[in-house]
Amino acid sequence: MHINKPIIRVNNLVKKFGEFVANDHLTFEVYEGEIFGFLGANGAGKTTAIRILCGLSYPTSGELEIAGFDVYTQREQIKKNIGYMSQRFSLYEDLNIRENIRFYAGIYGLPLATIRKKTEELIDELGLSPIAKTLVKDIPLGWRQKVAFSVAVFHDPRIVFLDEPTGGVDPLARRQFWEYIYRVAARGITVFVTTHYMDEAEYCQRVSIMAEGRIEALDTPENLKNTYRVSTMDEVFLKIARK
C-alpha cells in the first residue's frame, strides 16, 4: 500500500443549491489503497459530495482531482477509473443476476470474452450459481447488495465510491459486506465509503466526520478517539454533533 500518495484531492469544494450550502469549503485527500470513511448524519452533505466526486453533479466552486484527472475537464477519464454503488443498489429488477453483471460490464466496454469469463468467476466466487438466473427482484436485499458491489468493481476501477452501501441490511449481512470490502481493498482498489453507522467507522483506515456541510474532523479512528478522549466512534460522533 502506498501510504500518503493521494488519489483524491479536494480543495475548498463548495456546493450550493440556491441559498442552501450543502458542502461548505471541503478540503481533504484520500490516499491510494485506503478505506476512507465519509461519515455524517443524514443531511450532512455526504451524498452531495459523493455525487460530485463521481461526476453526477457539478461543484459550485473548488478544485477537485480524481485519480489524477480534473473534475471539470477530464470527466471521461475519471469515469473509466471509478466505480459507484448508490444507496439504491442500482440493479435492474427485471434482469437476472448474470444479465445485470454482463450489462454493467458491457457498458464499461470490456471485451466480450473477458466479460463472459469474469462473470462466471464472480458468480462462483459469490456462491450465486444456483440463483444466477433468478430475477433480481426475487433475491434478498443482502444478495443484491453484494451483487451491486461486485458490479461496481467489476471493471477494476482505481477507486470505488460506496454511498451508504449497508443501508437497510441486517448486522450479519453488514459484517459480511465489510469483509467483502476488505477483499476488494486488497486488490488495490481505493474504497471511499459513506455511512452513518458509527460501528462501521471502526473498519475504516481514516474517517472524516461531516456536520452541516463542513468536515469537522478527519483522522484515523484511533486518533479521533484519543483526541476526544472517548472509547467508541459513536461517542466521537456525538461530541462533534453536539458542538
Q: Give the footprint of other proteins on this chain (CB under 8 A).
A: 54-58, 76, 79-80, 82-95, 99, 102-104, 106-109, 112, 135
To the nearest whole angstrom, how small is the minimum distance from the Cβ of residue 220 to other proteins?
29
Q: Whole-angstrom Cα distance, residue 220 to residue 77?
A: 30
User: Would you say 19 or 94 has its CB closer to other proteins?
Assistant: 94
User: Would you say 63 or 202 has its CB closer to other proteins?
Assistant: 63
To the nearest whole angstrom, how small is the minimum distance from the Cβ of residue 87 to other proteins?
7
User: Would you say 143 or 228 has its CB closer to other proteins?
Assistant: 143
Partners of 69 in the beta sheet? 66
Which residues, other chains included, contact 21 with Cβ-Cβ below 8 Å and sequence gap of 6+? Answer: 14, 15, 213
Residue type, 122: L
User: Would you say 136 or 181 has its CB closer to other proteins?
Assistant: 136
Query: How buried is residue 171: exposed, middle or buried, by Cβ count under 10 Å (0-12/13-18/19+)?
Result: exposed
Partners of 140 in the beta sheet? none
To the nearest whole angstrom, how small is the minimum distance from the Cβ of residue 74 to other proteins?
12
User: Would you say 76 or 179 has its CB closer to other proteins?
Assistant: 76
Cα dihedral value 162, 165, 171, 176, nearest 10: -60
Q: Whole-angstrom Cα distance, residue 234 to residue 80?
A: 36
To the nearest whole angstrom, how small is the minimum distance from the Cβ of residue 118 to other proteins?
14
User: Would you say 47 or 208 has its CB closer to other proteins?
Assistant: 47
To the nearest whole angstrom, how small is the minimum distance from the Cβ of residue 60 to other proteins?
10
To the nearest whole angstrom, how small is the minimum distance from the Cβ of residue 158 to other proteins?
14
For 68, the grid coordinates are: 489524477
To the nearest whole angstrom, how small is the minimum distance from the Cβ of residue 217 to other proteins?
28
- The torsion angles phi and psi of 135, rounded to 5 degrees, stand at -65, 145
User: Would you say 9 or 80 has its CB closer to other proteins?
Assistant: 80
Residues counted in the chain: 243
Name residue, grid cell 475504516. 204
Which residues, other chains included, contact 58 with Cβ-Cβ below 8 Å and sequence gap of 6+? Answer: 52, 72
Query: How buried is residue 45: exposed, middle or buried, by Cβ count under 10 Å (0-12/13-18/19+)?
Result: buried
